[in-house]
């Protein structure tokens, strides 16, 4: 009987060892459609009035994101999760651009001007290498409302860019679920003012004291729609051409983890356009950007949650968690 018990215990522990999950598998297992639906559903709800930067809906969105980071256990980058900043523009009849550059602001203040107060939301998981950083980011603002519209007046922005915000939030939780301290510091960034000219990411880059120590930036902007109905798992994968490892990573991870994505690989020699990736590319930082292309509801009040491809959002989130893992742990890329 004693010998049988010992044999049984050995078998049980062997079984558990065979089925023990790796840190990566634990992280992947935490990513779910239910979470994506909860995050996007809140951010794209009518009560947030389209999340226009500088207005109440955007401030509610920022507070919601910060509260989620706090509940997860992601610490703020500084003393607070919020990085406040101000943007200035010429009086509206003169149709100028919004500016966050200090020199431009000095000039704008000399005449009649507009001002908006905004705030990025920034959290971090500290790494073992305290002097190296990886940033995972998405903008949370959208276009607000238009009271002159006949019918639906709210630009809900379910795809643009509540979908991207959901990916960043799930990746943060996945790193915590892995149970492993990352090699590099990971900043989870939620940008305000993207729709008004990449304002939040531009402000961060121009004021960040450690910008030269940022090893890579992973961006999301619109990851939830089907631009090609015959290819429901289509996604555009932009990355800095000088970093071919980025393309290899995704191809290998799709095969290894049986992801259902059908990427359109687009290496880009100078990826300065399109979204917040541009702010980092201009600073010489390698970027990866997930995007599922434009669609008829882009920048329209009809960008609603019922048109999202939830399975694709989850698959993109899993693939990008693996990208972020490589950015954090690979020595060179």
What domains, with CATH codes, occur in the chain?
29-329 (3.40.630.10)
Nearest-angstrom CA–CA distance, 301 and 52? 13
pLDDT by residue for the chain (333 residues), tens digit each?
Answer: 545 445 444 444 444 344 689 999 999 999 999 999 999 999 999 999 999 999 999 999 999 999 999 999 999 999 999 999 999 999 999 989 999 999 999 999 999 999 999 999 999 999 999 999 999 999 999 999 999 999 999 999 999 999 999 999 999 999 999 999 999 999 999 999 999 999 999 999 999 999 999 999 999 999 999 988 899 999 999 999 999 999 999 999 999 999 999 999 999 999 998 999 999 999 999 999 999 999 999 999 999 999 999 999 999 999 999 999 999 999 989
Nearest-angstrom CA–CA distance, 228 and 317? 19
Nearest-angstrom CA–CA distance, 321 and 309? 19
Per residue in 202-228, pLDDT (tens digit) is: 999 999 999 999 999 999 999 999 988
Q: Which residues pair with 268 in a beta bridge?
A: 240
Contact 61, 209 (CB under 8 A): no
First to last CA, the chain: 57
Nearest to 135 by CA among 93, 166, 172: 172
Global pTM?
0.94
Contact 139, 52 (CB under 8 A): no
Res 18: pLDDT: 42
* Burial class of 136 by CB neighbour count within 10 A (0 to 12, 13 to 18, 19+): buried
What is the number of helices (H) and of strands (E) in the chain? 10, 9
Res 95: pLDDT: 87
Q: Which two tokens stand for residue 284?
A: 């010489």
Per residue in 10-54, pLDDT (tens digit) is: 444 444 344 689 999 999 999 999 999 999 999 999 999 999 999
Per residue in 42-72, pLDDT (tens digit) is: 999 999 999 999 999 999 999 999 999 999 9
Res 229: pLDDT: 86
């Amino acid at each position: 009987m004693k010998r049988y018990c010992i044999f049984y215990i050995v078998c049980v522990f062997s079984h558990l060892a065979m089925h023990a999950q790796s840190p990566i598998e634990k992280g992947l297992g935490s990513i779910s459609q239910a979470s994506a639906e909860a995050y996007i559903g809140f951010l794209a709800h009518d009560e947030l009035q389209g999340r226009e930067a500088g207005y109440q809906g955007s401030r509610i969105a920022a507070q919601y994101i910060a509260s989620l980071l706090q509940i997860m256990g992601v610490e703020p980058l500084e003393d607070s999760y919020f990085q406040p900043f101000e943007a200035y523009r010429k009086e509206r009849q003169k149709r100028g651009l919004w500016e966050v550059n200090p020199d431009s602001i000095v000039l704008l203040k000399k005449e009649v001007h507009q001002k908006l107060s905004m705030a990025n939301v920034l959290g971090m998981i500290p790494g073992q290498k305290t002097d190296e950083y990886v940033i995972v980011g998405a903008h949370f603002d959208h276009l607000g409302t238009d009271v002159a519209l006949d019918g639906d007046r709210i630009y809900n922005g379910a795809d643009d860019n509540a979908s991207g915000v959901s990916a960043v939030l799930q990746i943060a939780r996945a790193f915590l679920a892995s149970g492993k301290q990352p090699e590099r510091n990971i900043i989870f960034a939620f940008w305000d003012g993207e729709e008004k000219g990449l304002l939040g990411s531009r402000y961060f880059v121009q004021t960040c004291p450690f910008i030269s120590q940022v090893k890579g930036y992973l961006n999301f902007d619109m990851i939830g729609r089907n631009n090609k109905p015959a290819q429901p798992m289509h996604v555009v994968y932009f990355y800095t051409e000088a970093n071919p490892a980025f393309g290899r990573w995704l191809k290998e991870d799709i095969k290894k983890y049986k992801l259902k994505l059908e990427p359109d690989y687009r290496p880009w020699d100078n990826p300065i356009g399109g979204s917040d990736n541009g702010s980092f590319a201009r600073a010489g930082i390698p970027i990866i950007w997930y995007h599922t292309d434009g669609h008829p509801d882009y920048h329209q009040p009809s960008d609603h949650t019922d048109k999202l491809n939830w399975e694709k959002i989850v698959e993109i989130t899993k693939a990008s968690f693996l990208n972020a893992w490589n950015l954090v742990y690979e020595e060179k890329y």
